[in-house]
A and B are shown apart, each in its own frame.
Chain A
Amino acid sequence: GAVVSQHPSRVICKSGTSVKIECRSLDFQATTMFWYRQFPKQSLMLMATSNEGSKATYEQGVEKDKFLINHASLTLSTLTVTSAHPEDSSFYICSASPIAGGQRDTQYFGPGTRLTVL
């Protein structure tokens, strides 16, 4: 149980294009999903907290117009990197917290999406 999927797993795009990453909780419902960014050999950096039916909460320094988050249902959140540039190249990981059954603070992570902007 507690499986989170991400799609795509890997994407290469040209500078200036937009890329959408999907995060799905497959066997549970999640009121809250989180988006992280991870640089090589570094820890996870929280970008934003996504709540179903409301606006995402962005961490300091993260541009909300650059990283659009939509949490349309209790099992799906999307992150769109708009007008991507090479410096946006990174490993993007989502996580989800179950509504029921477990504690609200438990986060289950997806497999990550490797974004490369040329």
Chain B
Amino acid sequence: GENVEQHPSTLSVQEGDSAVIKCTYSDSASNYFPWYKQELGKGPQLIIDIRSNVGEKKDQRIAVTLNKTAKHFSLHITETQPEDSAVYFCAASYAFGNENLTFGTGTRLTIIP
């Protein structure tokens, strides 16, 4: 089955700086890679996703890059703000299979004002 590893587990960034979270996956058949933001006591919120037919996707301050050959993908947050503080999860799935998501272990991002 799929295995997703996520690094770092914790990340502290000065407000205004950029944050990068990296994930690797094991199953080359995986073709869908979402990122979720989870605030304390709440459910995960989809913030961006990428499919294997593209290498990069951007939405305002958030971007995701995908390297299929190396089987890794990264989340980039620029101009970080205090409200970006949360736990971020990456995930992977094979869209034409059972569509189950395999999650990474999460990264606790803290933005220092």
Whether the Cβ atoms of B44 and A49 lie closer than 8 Å is: no
| Closest residue on chain B to residue A32 by CB atoms | B99
* B interface residue count range (under 10 / 10 to 19 / 20 to 34 / 35 or more): 20 to 34
- Contact for A109 among B32, B43, B105, CB less than 8 A: B43
Contact B98 A44 (CB under 8 A): no
Structural contact, B42 and A111, CB atoms closer than 8 A: yes
Chain B, interface SS category: loop
Does A67 interact with chain B (Cβ within 8 Å)? no
Q: Which residue of B lies closest to A45 (CB)?
A: B103
- Taking a contact as CB atoms under 8 Å apart, the answer to whether A109 and B36 are in contact is yes
Say whether, besides A43-B89, A43-B105, A43-B106, A109 and B44 are in contact (CB < 8 Å): yes
Q: Give the contacts of A1-53 with B (CB-CB under 8 A).
A: 2, 4, 6, 32, 34, 42-44, 46, 49
Cα–Cα distance between A4 and B42 once the two chains are bound (Å): 12
Interface residue A93 (Cβ < 8 Å from any Cβ of B): yes
Select one of B44, B99, B104, B105 contacting A105, CB under 8 A: B99
Chain A residue with the shortest CB-CB distance to B36: A109
Find out whether the CB atom of B44 lies under 8 angstroms from the CB atom of A34: no
A85, CB-defined interface residue at 8 Å: no
Report Cα–Cα, A105/B49, bound state, in Å.
11
Min distance, Cβ A116 to any Cβ of chain B, angstroms: 13
Set A32, A34, A44, A106: member contacting B46, Cβ < 8 A: A106
What's the Cα separation between A46 and B98 when bound, in Å?
13
CA distance A6 to B44 in the complex (A): 13
Q: List 11 A-B contacts (CB under 8 A).
A: A4-B43, A32-B99, A42-B106, A43-B103, A46-B100, A97-B99, A105-B101, A106-B46, A107-B46, A107-B99, A109-B43
Chain A residues with CB under 8 Å of chain B are 2, 4, 6, 32, 34, 42-44, 46, 49, 57, 93, 97, 103-112, 114
**Which B residues lie at the A interface, using CB under 8 A?**
32, 34, 36, 41-46, 49, 51, 89, 93, 95, 98-101, 103-106
